[in-house]
Amino acid sequence: MWRRSSVVHVVDELARAQRRERWRVEVEALLVGLAWAVWSVRLELALVLVLAVMQRLVGGVLGWIAVVACVAGVVAIPRTRRFLGHLLRAMHVRRAWARATIDAGVAAGPFRCPGVWSVSRVPAGDVLDVHVRRGQSVADLDARSEHLAACLRAREVRVLRDRRNAARASVLVIRRDPFEDAAPVTWPSVTTERLSLWEPVPLGVDEQGEHVAVSLVERNVLIGGEPGAGKSAALSVVIAAATLDPETRVWLLDGKLVELAAWAPLARKVAGPSGDDALALLREVRDVMDERYRELLAKGQRKVRRGDGLPLHLVVCDELAFYLTVPERAVQKEFAELLRDLVARGRAAGVIVCAATQKPGADVVPSALRDLFGFRLAMRCTTPQASDTILGQGWASAGADASDIPGAQRGVGYLLADGDRPVRMRGYYLSDEDVSAIAERASAARADKWLAEGVSA
């Protein structure tokens, strides 16, 4: 039988042990916090230390003069000022990131935050090269991106996993919309004499200020968006690249008659707002494609290759909806079949289809047809469903929603290339004068080529 005094003694001992443990945990947390605070200002401390050592070495008033001269020198020289400014800003972003990952529940505490290996400034905000720690995943980061954005006081945080390393991600902290009130960006090849459609075609700039270029060979492009979103302007850039390649044959279907009129003299054939003309054009391209397959068979090739003398064919359709909603059902049906055939079979034969629609609905672009387009550009749409009709089911809810694009931002859209995450970009713009100048140069290049072939024949 235990006496009362011994029970009280055991209880006191237990309470003391608990207090000691609590103390230990609190002191440990305090020390870790202090170490972390010092570590997070290591650059600033190092700079102060260097200046302090300099003052001590030189000594006295002269030492202080040396410190002031050193600081003034760094500030006065633009290169060093920029360099130091970048380092200090990067440290500030790192600190904010570390705090945000703890507060958002991604990291369990200091020294457990996903590491930031580099910080670069881009027009939209900052890009962080992040490496997650053991036990963490990039998917966790992505799942907490809303919380991270709130902690960082940013508009949005986008996490893009490195394809080759599951522990690494590129994190875009969006602080401003780089396309807001931005002037049109001229196509970089506007003054180029000649291009090759085998090379990637620059389409626009993304939020990080990087050029977005697409390699059109063996790809098809689908563009959707509400009227005035910038579809014809985007098509113009693609046509400009094709016409500047004298080897490429261009076929135009212009449901609005005037949109592509400037390019008409360079086209192999043009169909205006007439279902029958459109069918005749598509039938001709299909015959070219079938003939091309026979040529490839004879050569023992499975697809066209650069340098084998087989020209590429670019078929551009501005306003799919026009041809797919003509009153004659038979024309609608045949148009849909021919287009589907070209999109499905044309790639290996060097036939590239580039189609735009202002009515991104399942009746115009059924998902079976949409999925055949390697590149899909959703410009401003009226609903998230319309955006998904172009990009694919689920992208709007995953953040790539073209109905979020402000109405004033013409030429902005989400580009989905080869199944990656859609990239928000702004298309290059060609003014009417640019289009006329390019068309003139392209005509001259084609005439030169034609003459050269005539002379050598």
Ligand X SMILES: Nc1ncnc2c1ncn2[C@@H]1O[C@H](COP(=O)(O)OP(=O)(O)OP(=O)(O)O)[C@@H](O)[C@H]1O
Binding residues: 225-232
Q: How far is the CB of 299 from ligand X (least distance, A)?
A: 39
Applying CB under 6 A, which of residues 158, 175, 313, 410 lies at the interface with ligand X? 410
> What's the full length of the chain, in residues?
457
Residues 6+ apart with CB under 8 A from 265: 439, 443
Return d(Cα 408, Cα 53) in angstroms, integer.
56
Backbone angles phi, psi at 319, to 5 degrees: 95, 75
- Nearest of 376, 375, 361, 378 to residue 412 by alpha carbon: 378
Q: Which is nearer to ligand X, 322 or 395 (CB)?
A: 322
Residue 292 is a binding residue for ligand X (CB under 6 A): no
Q: For residue 230, state whether it binds ligand X (rule: CB under 6 A).
A: yes
Cα gap 290→52, rounded to integer Å: 79
Site for ligand X in 294-333 (CB under 6 A): none
Of the two residues 220 and 358, which places its CB atom closer to ligand X in the complex? Answer: 358
- Do residues 113 and 94 lie in contact, with contact meaning Cβ atoms separated by under 8 Å? no
Q: At what angle do helices 231-243 and 432-456 cross, to 10 degrees?
A: 30
- The smaller minimum CB distance to ligand X, of residues 356 and 369, is found at 356
Asked if residue 59 binds ligand X (CB under 6 A), the reply is no
Coil/strand/helix, residue 369 = helix
The CB-of-428 to ligand X minimum distance in angstroms stands at: 6
319 or 388: CB nearest ligand X: 319
Q: What would the two tokens of residue 364 be?
A: 């115009």
* Binding residue for ligand X, selected from 225, 275, 374, 392, defined by CB under 6 A: 225
The sheet with strand 221-224 has its strands ordered as 211-214, 201-206, 423-427, 412-417, 375-379, 221-224, 351-357, 313-318, 249-254, 269-271
Decide: 256 and 228 in contact? Cβ < 8 Å: no
**E strand or H helix at 376, and its extent?**
strand 375-379
How many CA atoms lie less than 13 Å away from 416 in the CB half-sphere?
27
Shortest CB 357 distance to ligand X, Å: 8
| C-alpha span between 86 and 91 (Å, rounded) | 9
Residue 411 near ligand X by CB under 6 A: yes
CB 219 within 8 A of CB 374: yes
User: Is residue 184 a contact point for ligand X (CB under 6 A)?
Assistant: yes
Give 374 or 413: the residue with its C-beta nearer to ligand X.
Answer: 413
- Give the residue ranges of the annotated binding site for ATP: 225-232
Q: Is 427 in the site for ligand X (CB under 6 A)?
A: yes
Residue 424 binding ligand X, by CB under 6 A: no
CB of 334 to ligand X, least distance (A): 24
Return the range that interacts with ligand X (CB under 6 A); candidates 53-61, 109-117, 224-232, 445-453.
224-232
Q: Is 174:154 a contact under the CB 8 Å cutoff?
A: yes
- 429 binds ligand X per the rule CB under 6 A: yes
# residues near ligand X by CB under 6 A: 17
Which amino acid is it at 381?
A: C
By CB under 6 A, residue 282 contacts ligand X: no
User: Binder to ligand X among 98, 100, 119, 233 (CB under 6 A)?
Assistant: 233
Pick 145 or 232: Cβ nearer ligand X? 232
Contact 126, 174 (CB under 8 A): no
Shortest Cβ contact with ligand X: which residue? Answer: 411
| 338 and 375 Cβ atoms separated by less than 8 Å | no
229 is an interface residue for ligand X by CB under 6 A:
yes
Task: Write out the binding residues for ligand X, residues 236-265 only, by CB under 6 A.
Answer: 256, 259
The nearer residue to ligand X, 349 or 378, going by C-beta atoms, is 378
For residues 362 and 376, is the Cβ–Cβ distance under 8 A?
Answer: no
Among 55, 358, 387, 389, binds ligand X (CB under 6 A): 358
> Binding segment for ligand X among 64-72, 74-82, 227-235, 333-341 (CB under 6 A)?
227-235
Give the residue with the Cβ less far from ligand X, 142 or 259.
259
Between 289 and 379, name the residue whose CB sits nearer to ligand X: 379
Q: Is 36 exposed, middle or buried (0-12, 13-18, 19+ CB in 10 A)?
A: middle
Q: Which member of 40, 101, 136, 232 binds ligand X (CB under 6 A)?
A: 232
Which one of residues 94, 144, 175, 231 is an interface residue with ligand X (CB under 6 A)?
231
Q: Residues interacting with ligand X, by CB under 6 A?
A: 184, 225, 227-233, 256, 259, 358, 410-411, 426-427, 429
